[in-house]
Amino acid sequence: MAVPATLWRPGMIITDARLNARDYQAGIIVVSFTNLASYTQNIVFPEAFPVAPIMNAEIAAGAGTTGRFEVRPINVSATGWTLFALLTDTAEGPDTWSSVPVHWTARMPTT
């Protein structure tokens, strides 16, 4: 399980857990689908967080049909999340994606 990174304070003891702490993770998902107006894909974090992180997802391409979609994270938990891609312009109907990169970031909430 991930140990949240700690801001260093005078007198803190250096431990393996603190040195290896990760409070931020990021990745790229390559998305393909055919003739859909919405799409979901479950993603597991490389390393679980202690609590559900704050997330962001962005389409990393602007050409073709991607301009008619938005993406966002849903069902975020400490171990993973679901990518939700949604067609925002339904005037022309469903679309197809082929190997479209979606970038995501997740970070521990601050208190």
| Structure tokens given for 92 | 């022309």
Alpha carbons within 13 A on the beta-carbon side of 55: 26
SS3 68: helix
User: 73: which 2 tokens?
Assistant: 């994270």
Which pTM was predicted? Answer: 0.79
Going 98 to 80 to 103 to 47, the CA torsion angle's sign is: negative
Name the one residue in this structure whose structure tokens are 């689908």.
33
Per-residue pLDDT 10s for the chain (111 aa) are 445 555 566 777 777 766 666 688 999 999 999 999 999 999 999 989 989 999 999 999 877 788 889 999 999 999 999 999 999 987 878 999 999 999 999 998 875
Q: Token digits for 28? A: 């790229």
Paired residues of 38 in beta bridges: 86
Distances (CA, A) of 77 to 24, 34, 48, 50, 56: 14, 28, 9, 9, 13
Q: Supply the pLDDT for residue 34.
A: 96
The whole-number pLDDT of residue 91 equals 82
Domains and CATH numbers, the chain: 26-107 (2.60.40.2080)
The CB density around residue 2, as the number of other CB atoms within 10 Å, is: 21
